[in-house]
Structure 1
Amino acid sequence: MKARAVSFHPETGYFETGSGFSTRDAAHEIAPHSGDKHSGDKIEKRIGYSFASKPLLVEALTHRSALHVAQGGGRRSGRGGHKKSRPQKPKGRRSNERLEFIGDRVLGLLMAEKLLEQFPDEQEGDLGARHAYLVSRVVLARLARIIRLHEAILVAEHEEAAGVRNVENVQADAMEALLGAIYLDGGLSPVREVFRKLWDDVIGEHINPPKDPKTALQEWLLGRGKALPVYKLDHEEGPSHAPKFVISVAVDGLTGIGEASNKREAERLAAGHLLAQLVMVEGH
């Protein structure tokens, strides 16, 4: 059977074949909402990588809200006899959460590799502090905004109206998912190139190793006559051999959140998240 040429149109989420537009490729139905025409093409140009498998790029850009589209069905309403709309998940569609999972691991490996190369005489503790900051949600979201990745995230209409693309965690998740998609599409070599293109300047900004986030936050607060931070365990889940802790710390109406497999690391992440916000607010 002769293969048909297929091109993806991110602004509509449709694939165009020789016979016109189709909402389905091999395994995807695309019906999300994007705020920018040809957003997928633009992202590829900005990162210097073209996907062989366009569905992977679509998946990396798909927020979980985009999976649930209002479709007719269910019971009839009492008076008008109209069917109620109910959210349904199109078969074969996936959000970017699975790609975020692998992207997080790929980023961790590439960052460790880069730091060992760039700081050959640095001890594990200092390397760890650098690593924790450079893979943090704050940095991920910052880089996502630099390449305007948030403009390409596919979301449901109600989430678009609520401004979900501007949420830091959503931007950070999409960045990790993008790295995961590149890895699955082309392997370690191309994702390493994209990683270094995006992160080299950020790594170069920090010649001296950063302090432990909890220590840095404490010093920042004491230096301004504020009380010491109080960390709160918000949530704990998972089996005993693989727990996940969600810890928060709040100051002046700002909240830092950290998620990790142990409380100490979750507190460090929460402190770093909060400190980045405090510094940003103070600088404005």
Structure 2
Amino acid sequence: MKLNPAQAAFATRLGHDFTDPRLLVEALTHASLSGPVRRDNQRLEFLGDRILGLVIAEALLAADTNAREGALAPRFNNLVRREALAEVAEAIQLGDALMMGKSERATGGRRKQALLADAMEAVIAAVYLDAGFEHTRALVLRLWHDRIARADEHGTDAKTALQEWAQARGMAPPDYIEEARAGPDHAPVFTIAATLASGERATATANSKRAAQQAAAAMLLERLESTDDR
């Protein structure tokens, strides 16, 4: 099977010369165009999701040998979430090579975040089936390199980290309670308490609810992790 011009150009941008081009065609075929003789990319998407997760988890462990699970989890989630996948797909213009039904194309399917993310996972699986894990790992690390380097910056979501900490211990997610609001309407100041079902809590004040929640979560998480280290 020969790739069409759009698929061949995408393979060049991806940086992989497929031994079996049928794998790439399948990865780039949306369900709206599948049929008895044409497979869509949903099965490859399933596999690619798992491969990406393993490669990213491995990379994060190697990048920060001292990070605890509570710090690694939000970094991981940021790197494998749908938005990140779609951004990588856009960077290599994956949408230009996507094949889909007429109605899907008419509604802007080539630019839809969900379709791009799913196809990116399918492409990862196609490379894996075509060339093996080591080659796929190298490709993922190349495409995600800058994002992995910035993972700590994007992984500072204290609310997510606190929730991961609680879930890892079989606890319910934390509650955020507004204890006070002061100041004028155009410049309010919020006091928020982050509270766990076990009774641990921390309180913080900031100029927005989100900032106060994040600050309270960070304070509580720091206290909990210092206790874990003892």
Q: Which TM bucket (shorter chain)?
A: 0.5 to 0.7
Work out the CA distance in 1 between the residues paired with 2:42 and 2:62: 30
Q: Which has the higher contact order (CA 8 A, sep 6+)?
A: 2
Work out the CA distance in 2 between the residues paired with 1:41 and 1:150: 13
More strand by share: 1
AA aligned to 2:2 is F
| Structure-2-length-normalised TM-score | 0.67
Work out the CA distance in 2 between the residues paired with 1:96 and 1:205: 30
Q: Could you say which residue in structure 2 is the equivalent of 1:116? A: 61
Aligned residues: 168
Matched-pair identity in % = 37
Q: 1:211 aligns with which of 133, 145, 157?
A: 157
Work out the CA distance in 2 between the residues paired with 1:150 and 1:133: 22
Counterpart check, 1:133 vs 2:100: no
Where structure 2 has 5 or more consecutive residues not aligned to the other structure, the ranges are 163-174, 182-186, 189-230
CA apart distance, 1:206: 3.2
CA apart distance, 1:213: 5.8
Counterpart check, 1:42 vs 2:4: no
Q: Could you say which residue in structure 2 is the equivalent of 1:202? A: 147
CA apart distance, 1:210: 2.5
More helix by share: 2
Work out the CA distance in 1 between the residues paired with 2:13 and 2:59: 22
AA aligned to 2:106 is A
Where structure 1 has 5 or more consecutive residues not aligned to the other structure, the ranges are 1-6, 11-37, 68-88, 226-284
Work out the CA distance in 2 between the residues paired with 1:58 and 1:99: 11
Deviations 1:191-228 (A, max 9, x none): 11110110011111233432156589x99xx9x97xxx
Q: 1:213 to 1:44 in 2, by over 3 A?
A: farther
AA aligned to 1:199 is W
Q: 2:95 aligns with which of 143, 146, 150?
A: 150
Work out the CA distance in 2 between the residues paired with 1:200 and 1:213: 25
The answer (yes or no) to whether the contact 2:109–2:115 under 8 Å persists in 1 is yes
Q: 1:119 to 1:214 in 2, by over 3 A?
A: closer
Q: 1:135 to 1:207 in 2, by over 3 A?
A: same
Q: Secondary structure at the match of 2:152?
A: coil
Q: Could you say which residue in structure 1 is the equivalent of 2:24? A: 57
Q: 1:104 aligns with which of 37, 44, 49?
A: 49
- Alignment RMSD: 2.6
Work out the CA distance in 1 between the residues paired with 2:96 and 2:104: 13
